[in-house]
A and B are shown apart, each in its own frame.
Chain A
Amino acid sequence: MYLSSRRSDDALALDLAGDWRVRNFGALARELAAVPLAGAHSVLIDAARLEALDLSAAWLLQGFIERAHAAGAQVHFIAGEPDLIRLVEPRAATVGAASAAAVPAVTIESPAPARRWLTEPLALLGRNTVLAGRDSLGGLSFLGRAALTLLSAIARPRRLRPVSIARHLYDTGVTAIPIITLIAFLISVIIAYLGAQQLARYGATILVADLVAIGVLRELGVLLTAIIVAGRSGSAFAAEIGSMRLNEEVDALYAMGVDPFEVLVLPRLLGLALALPLLTIVADLVGLAGGAVLCRAVLHIPLSQYLVRVREAISATTFWVGVIKAPVFAILIGAAGTLRGMQVSGSSRELGRLTTMAVVQAIFLVILADAIFAIVFMELDI
């Protein structure tokens, strides 16, 4: 019990006692709310037996005093007003202002809902379309600037930063070999196994070799590699450059007269453009090997027969059709990662948002480009 109230005809006496602190906020609020104010013309508050009063409890008490005023009662303190009450007196002003603001806000918005369901989605659509358009333009100009930087760097080879390119070749390529190997092996085994089950119905189990060879070399090798690299390196690019932005390191580069495009963006793009084709070749080899292992172990096709089938299945272009896509995918992944990284500003939340966006867009762009390649190759009859 934090207060006791005594009621005479039109007067209310309130004895406050105990620990009036924020940890008892709920109980204090309940007890104050339960005090019957109706019909009271004067309220006498005795705060002498209070053990403690903190700012939050004083704010509650002030709220009660205002309710008493509103009910037409005079409020007096018997043993003097606690000092803290003065600190929370602006409550009247703030609460009043808030409720006053809320009232016209309702009247202003009340005619709107009739149309809002129509206009708001439209406005959202329009806004996002414009933003997406600007974003695409930004991406294009980013690529353009990277190309210009590359041209001017080719003129002065030291500006190509071979050491940095080598580092990124290692980070994005060499260290990715284990996961690429594993995925390529498993995927080719799965394809061979599923394919064998279907082909067995026609007694054409041997065609599994064709399926694996063409599937892995043309599509799956490069596509899976690109998607894994987008997840690994696209995010790494965005996070590295983004945290450098947050730490003002990119500004420091500008201020030193060093072009961040030259030292941060270009080596990453070039490193990845070298790494992805090489990784694709690894994935192709491992994928063919995975098919061979499954054919041997499960389908009992001897290795020599598998190899003959593979050689007959693929044409001169099959391998190159896959590998040629890799540098293009690499540029898309690298550009998405570095662009989003360079866009980071202000907060770590931005860093997370843009890193996510980098990976999602890298994967999207890779698949989009793959679809375009497929159409082009089909039209070219390759």
Chain B
Amino acid sequence: MIYPVVEVRGLVNRFGTQLVHDGLDMEVRAGEVFGVIGASGSGKTVLLRSILGLRRPQAGVIRLQGRDITRLGPRQLTAVKADYGVTFQHGALFSSLSVLQNVQVPMLEHLALPADALAALAHLKLHLVGLGADAGKSPAQLSGGMVKRAALARALALDPGLLFLDEPTSGLDPISAADFDALLLDLHRELRLTVVMITHDLDTIFRTCNRVGVIVDRRMVSDTLEGMLDNPHPWIQAYFHGVRAQSRARLAASASAAPVGGGPRHGA
């Protein structure tokens, strides 16, 4: 039997009297890039923290590769965690370690590698994300985009099949964000990753996601992008057809309408 990579059923999360999730369902299939979107405060990060086991939900089942993480003992849970990589919103790099050492932390914890392989593999991961020259820097010396890349390299340290990314392009300029999207797509294709990504970035969603799940009314509506564009829910309509989305569409239209040839042209 093939399990969904991530399966959430009937998730309930409550903070005091504030109900964040009420019977939320979510399913991510192998090989997908699944985008999680929702209004600020709709509980995207809480959902991620529940899936990662950082927060115990009030009710619900969370299965990763068919294993219910709310019922696993500590040792089995550690094994599950070695199967996925996570990047946090602000990177969460270990500030007392160099970039290279950051990538090595998961390897040191879970694998018994000889020292030369450890160094080489960590360098490889950094090259993969374009930080080959920055291995010796400390996290404080990195720019915002480099922090996100270093976090990605660390998330890839154990060659996981599943990646969780929390707002990987937030706070980046559009060019760096586009670079990150391209990098993610490359890695997704070459490493056969399944990616679950929380994001607000419409460009990232359109460029990278196969399916999106929208948290509205404390539940999740999942669909393909095309299906989501036709969804009648007012928030989803506003999200995909609002001012930001329209200006983006106009830019795309004018770019494609521009005559081919001559010098490089940018949107009107």
CA distance A243 to B105 in the complex (A): 19
Which of B52, B90, B95 contacts A255 (CB under 8 A)? B52
Cβ distance B120 to chain A, nearest Cβ, rounded Å: 20
B53: interface (CB < 8 Å): yes
Given contacts A247-B90, A248-B88, contact A257 B54 (CB under 8 A): no
> Are B90 and A248 in touch, CB under 8 angstroms?
yes
Count the B residues whose beta carbon is within 8 Å of the partner chain — how many?
Answer: 24
Residue in chain B with minimal CB distance to A248 = B92
For the complex, is A1 an interface residue (Cβ under 8 Å from B)? no
Query: CB < 8 Å: which of A244, A249, A255 contacts B81?
Result: A255
User: Is there a chain A Cβ closer than 8 Å to B94's Cβ?
Assistant: yes
Given the complex of chains A and B, what is the CA–CA distance between A247 and B94 in angstroms?
Answer: 8
Proximity string of chain A (235-274) to chain B, C-beta cutoff 8 Å, 1 when within and 0 when not: 0000000011001110110111111000000000000000
Number of interface residues of A (CB under 8 A): 13
CB of A113 to closest CB in B, whole Å: 29
Q: Which residues in window 76-113 of B have CB below 8 A to A?
A: 77-82, 86, 88-90, 92-95, 105-106, 109-110
The interface residues of chain A lying within 8 Å CB-to-CB of B79 are 257
Tell me, rounded to whole Å, the shortest Cβ–Cβ distance linking A44 to chain B: 42
Residues of A within 8 A of B105 (CB): 256, 258
Query: Does A249 lie within 8 Å of B109, measured CB to CB?
Result: no
Q: Closest Cβ of chain B: how far from A6's Cβ, in Å? A: 49
How far, in Å, is A88 (CB) from chain B's closest CB?
A: 26
Query: Which A residues from 80 to 100 make CB contacts under 8 A with B?
Result: none
Evaluate contact between B81 and A256: CB separation under 8 angstroms.
Answer: yes
Q: Closest B-chain residue to A255, C-beta based? A: B86
A256: which B residues are within 8 A, CB to CB?
81, 86, 105-106, 109-110
Show the binding face of A for B, using Cβ within 8 Å: 243-244, 247-249, 251-252, 254-259
For this complex, 30 residue pairs linking A to B, each with C-beta atoms less than 8 Å apart, are A243-B95, A244-B95, A247-B90, A247-B92, A248-B88, A248-B89, A248-B90, A249-B92, A249-B94, A249-B95, A251-B49, A251-B54, A251-B88, A251-B92, A252-B88, A252-B92, A254-B52, A254-B53, A255-B52, A255-B88, A256-B81, A256-B86, A256-B105, A256-B106, A256-B109, A257-B77, A257-B80, A257-B81, A257-B109, A258-B105
| Nearest 10 interchain pairs by C-beta | A257-B81, A248-B92, A257-B78, A252-B92, A255-B86, A248-B88, A256-B106, A255-B52, A258-B109, A249-B92
Other A-B contacts than A248-B88, A257-B79, A257-B109, 9 sampled, CB-CB below 8 A, are A244-B94, A249-B94, A251-B52, A252-B94, A255-B54, A256-B105, A257-B80, A258-B109, A259-B74
Chain B contact residues, CB within 8 Å of chain A: 49, 52-54, 74, 77-82, 86, 88-90, 92-95, 105-106, 109-110, 164
